[in-house]
């Protein structure tokens, strides 16, 4: 389910940022990403998103990330290592998967991340998990 089609889009305050490769929803404590079908989410695209996040949240940013995988796309799992080394402001991530292949990809990404990554069956599970992170309470 797309974030904008969920109940959360009507009860949570957010800012939507659209790129040619996907949409990002910036909320108080977390972001939700929804990539377009077939995109390869590479370092150049990540840097574009980081620029927007730093402008929106400031340099002392500490947020969680929900990857709402409504479409199939690719990312190099080792980019998690580079991202954490260069920036490191994502404290935890949830990956919402809607297919077996997305589950397998999330499992691979989990191995490359130093932060906690939770694989979720739906957006409700992901948002509830993120909102209950000890870092936010």
Would you state the pLDDT for residue 58? 95
Assessment of whether the complete model's pTM goes beyond 0.85: yes
Q: Is the pLDDT of residue 125 over 70?
A: yes
pLDDT value for 102: 77
The model's pLDDT over 80-117, given as tens digits with 9 standing for 90+, comes to 778 888 888 999 999 999 888 777 877 777 676 677 88
Q: What is the pLDDT of residues 6-45, one digit of tens each?
A: 999 999 999 999 999 999 999 999 999 999 999 999 999 9
Phi, psi of 95 (to 5 degrees): -115, 115
Distances (CA, A) of 114 to 42, 49, 77, 105: 19, 20, 12, 16
* pLDDT reading at 54 higher than 90: yes
C-alpha distances (whole Å) from 9 to each of 33, 60, 86, 109 are: 13, 26, 31, 27
80 vs 70, higher pLDDT:
70
Alpha-carbon distance values, 75 to 20, 43, 63 (Å): 16, 9, 20
- Name the CATH topology of 3-136: Transcription Regulator spoIIAA (3.30.750)
> Would you state the pLDDT for residue 19?
98
DSSP state of 97: -
* Res 110: pLDDT: 67
- Check residue 80 and give its pLDDT: 75
Domain ranges within the chain, ordered by starting residue: 3-136
Residue 48 confidence (pLDDT) above 90:
yes
Q: How many CB atoms lie within 10 A of CB 121?
A: 11
pLDDT of residue 78 exceeding 90: no
């Amino acid at each position: 389910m797309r974030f904008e089609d969920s109940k959360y889009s009507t009860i949570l305050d957010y800012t939507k940022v659209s790129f040619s490769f996907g949409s990002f929803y910036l909320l108080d404590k977390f972001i939700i990403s929804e990539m377009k079908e077939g995109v390869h989410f590479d370092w150049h695209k990540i840097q574009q998103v980081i620029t927007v996040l730093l402008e929106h949240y400031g340099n002392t940013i500490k947020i969680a990330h929900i990857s709402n995988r409504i479409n199939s796309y690719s990312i190099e799992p080792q980019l998690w290592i580079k991202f954490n080394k260069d920036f490191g402001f994502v404290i935890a991530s949830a990956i919402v998967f809607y297919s077996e292949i997305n589950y397998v990809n999330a499992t691979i990404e989990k191995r490359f991340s130093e932060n906690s990554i939770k694989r979720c069956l739906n957006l409700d599970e992901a948002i509830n998990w993120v909102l209950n992170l000890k870092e936010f309470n």
